[in-house]
Amino acid sequence: MISNVKKNKINLFELKSKKDLKNVENIFDKFLKKNIFKKKYFSKARKCACGSKKYINNFKIGLFKYVKCKCNTYFVDPMPNDNFLKIIYSEKGPYSIYRKKFLENKNKKKIRIGKINKRKAAQISTILKDKKKYILDFGCGDGSFLKTCKKNGFKNLFGVDTKYSKPYKKNGVFFSNSLKNLKVTKKFDCIVLWGVLEHLNDPINFSKNIFKYLKKGGYIFIEVPSADSLLMTVLSLFKIRVDRFIEPGRHLYFFSKQFFYIFSKRLKLNIIDLETNGLDLQTLIGPTNDKLTKRLLMIQNTIDKINFSDHYRAVFQKK
């Protein structure tokens, strides 16, 4: 069970300043406001990743509508198309600026990511016993997760991210901007998609293409924002813009547990394990004193236990 690996206690506001978050959101807001009505960047159809066009309700936060499908997944309307995503995630696009300003250059943030990676690698170790197994981190960013896997003894590590203009090898880990350019002749034993699927406009077809590179019996680890979470439920009722979770224009999907059943059926997978992680209460309440923070973390623990925290982490196995 991946949930048996002990969780970290994280105080959001020690590590993430509200000012930073605001600065970064301003970059995106400017970009979105300039482009939101341009037809060439958005698809006309309103359709969930599960394929259904039927939806139960919707609400508006900022520039986007958030539509709840009958599978309980939320998705943005209008849905950005490939042209839009290409610009957002290009080397000089707004996401790159976001990453440089916010994700990569902050020491405290690095400490937090370090803690999270350590737990993720420990979770992978509970399932992949053989350290020679081939692991692919798709959307690997600066490769910090793979570096942690290396420290944990894993030997065959590969990362793909659009940020790499050409294939290269660092500390025994192979990086490239595409699977094709990685030139791996063997299929992978494990593919991880940490915070990837919610950024895509067609997560099922994307996964179908990636999982071709996974062995039969191989494992998939994903992490995505949860539509079933306490945080999403509060946001849908009170329409509060919480950038940390909503990431307007970047998070296109908030997935439900029900979606995972559809996902696993379509892609011929078994769901092996599932847990939630999150900072629902800290996100909603904001900075608090030590005593209250302690209490909030305690309640957050309970929210985790009943799988209502803001992110799902799930493990699948290819049939």
Residue 256 CB, nearest distance to Zn ion (Å)?
8
Least gap, CB of 51 to Zn ion (angstroms) = 7
Q: Which is nearer to Zn ion, 79 or 279 (CB)?
A: 79
For CA atoms 92, 204, 275, 59, the dihedral sign is positive
Contact between 316 and 222 under an 8 Å Cβ cutoff? The reply is yes
- Number of residues interacting with Zn ion: please give it, by CB under 5 A: 6
Q: What type of residue is 158? A: F
| Between 204 and 234, CB nearer to Zn ion | 204
Sign of CA dihedral 96, 260, 193, 53: negative
Give 69 or 190: the residue with its C-beta nearer to Zn ion: 69
**Toward Zn ion, which CB reaches closer, 73 or 176?**
73
Residue 69-98 contact track with Zn ion, rule CB under 5 A, x = bound: x-x-x-------------------------
| Residue closer to Zn ion (CB basis): 138 or 259 | 259
Closest contact distance (angstroms) between CB of 71 and Zn ion is 3
Rounded to the nearest whole angstrom, what is the least distance from the CB of residue 276 to Zn ion in the complex?
19
Instruction: Tell me the closest approach of the beta carbon of residue 240 to Zn ion, in angstroms.
Output: 24
Work out whether the CA dihedral 254, 264, 89, 15 comes out positive or negative: positive
Q: Which is nearer to Zn ion, 73 or 282 (CB)?
A: 73
32 belongs to the binding site for Zn ion (CB under 5 A): no
User: What span, in angstroms and rounded, lies between the C-alpha atoms of 44 and 79?
Assistant: 8
Tell me the closest approach of the beta carbon of residue 257 to Zn ion, in angstroms: 12
Q: Which residues of 240-258 are buried (b: 16+ CB within 10 A; e: fewer)?
A: eebbebbbbbbbbbbbbbb
End-to-end CA distance of the chain: 19
CA dist., res. 146 & res. 136, Å (int) = 9
Q: In the window 35-74, what residues touch Zn ion (CB under 5 A)?
A: 48, 50, 52, 69, 71, 73
What is the spatial order of strands in the sheet that 64-69 belongs to? 55-61, 64-69, 74-77, 253-254
Taking the CA atoms of the chain, what radius of gyration do you get in angstroms?
A: 19
Interacting residues with Zn ion (CB under 5 A): 48, 50, 52, 69, 71, 73
